[in-house]
Structure 1
Amino acid sequence: MNVMDDKDIALDALAASKTDISLLSKVIPETTNHQLRQMLTNQLNSCINDHFKLSDMVISKGWYPAYATPQDQLKNDLNKVDEINR
């Protein structure tokens, strides 16, 4: 049985947050109703602020190597794949 720890939950939430921001940014320009557009824009701004907070947290805990070199990021990803395949 796979158990999700705090890191897994935070990284999944970060990925979901990116998806939410992407979808909202695509739908807002297509919205013709001013009130709905304003509501969605407010939601987008809230999502972006929450995303910044969440990304700051995972970076500070060392769960997301945002400042690693591309080579180090690739090495980390390959190590994770090796761990999963064991």
Structure 2
Amino acid sequence: MIWGYLSFRRQKIIGVTEFTVWNWEHGTEPELKHMPKIIEFLGYVPFECPEDPIGKLRYFKLVNGLSYERLGEMMDRDPGQLMDWV
């Protein structure tokens, strides 16, 4: 009973279906757009921020669930250039 409730809350907080969560639990990687909500649900970032500038940029993109297009807008850079960097 309690597990079903927790599973339901997890799905509602992250905004995905039960099937999506099942896939994640069985090896499918979450889509980038879900990362901010997953981190919010967990209450922490499940990986460390690298020290190097490109690693930090990759980390920022991942933690915030940003596409190359959105990151490019934020940095006033071409998304293709960012793909080469990251």
Give TM-score, length-normalised by structure 1. Answer: 0.29
Greater Rg over alpha carbons, structure: 1
Question: Which protein is richer in helix relative to its size?
Answer: 1
Give TM-score, length-normalised by structure 2. Answer: 0.29
Higher RCO structure (Cα 8 Å, ≥6 apart): 1
